[in-house]
Amino acid sequence: MNITVDLERCEGFASCVVTAPELFDLDDERSVAVVLEPVDGGPRTRALALEAAASCPVRAITVLDPVVDEPSLPRRGR
């Protein structure tokens, strides 16, 4: 999972910090949200990240799931 904050859009409302303090913090110097590391990517982390993204009034947070390669099924020979 990849969580990013668009620093050009972020206005420092800190709703993400309130929603998911284990994932976000506020940079005191720039007054923008930053993603904390590490992010384990489990179901709870994903749910918190999505909730934080939804809570952002300027939609500065993006949550992307990694592409999962699924093994293809073997073809039946004829």
Average pLDDT (12-34) is 96
Q: How far apart are CA 55 and CA 53, in angstroms?
A: 5
Residue 20 has pLDDT above 60, yes or no: yes
- Looking at residue 66, its pLDDT comes to 73
Query: What pLDDT does residue 39 have?
Result: 67
CATH of the domain at 15: 3.30.70.20
Instruction: Kindly state whether residue 74 falls inside one of the protein's structural domains.
Output: no
Task: Read off the pLDDT of residues 24-77 as tens digits, 9 standing for 90 and up.
Answer: 999 989 999 999 986 677 889 999 999 999 999 999 999 998 766 555 555 665
pLDDT of residue 67: 63
In a domain, 75, yes or no: no
Rounded Cα gap, residues 60 and 57, in angstroms: 8
For residue 76, being part of any structural domain is answered with: no
Residue 23 or 78, more confident: 23
Residue 70 lies in a domain: no
**pLDDT of res. 14:** 96
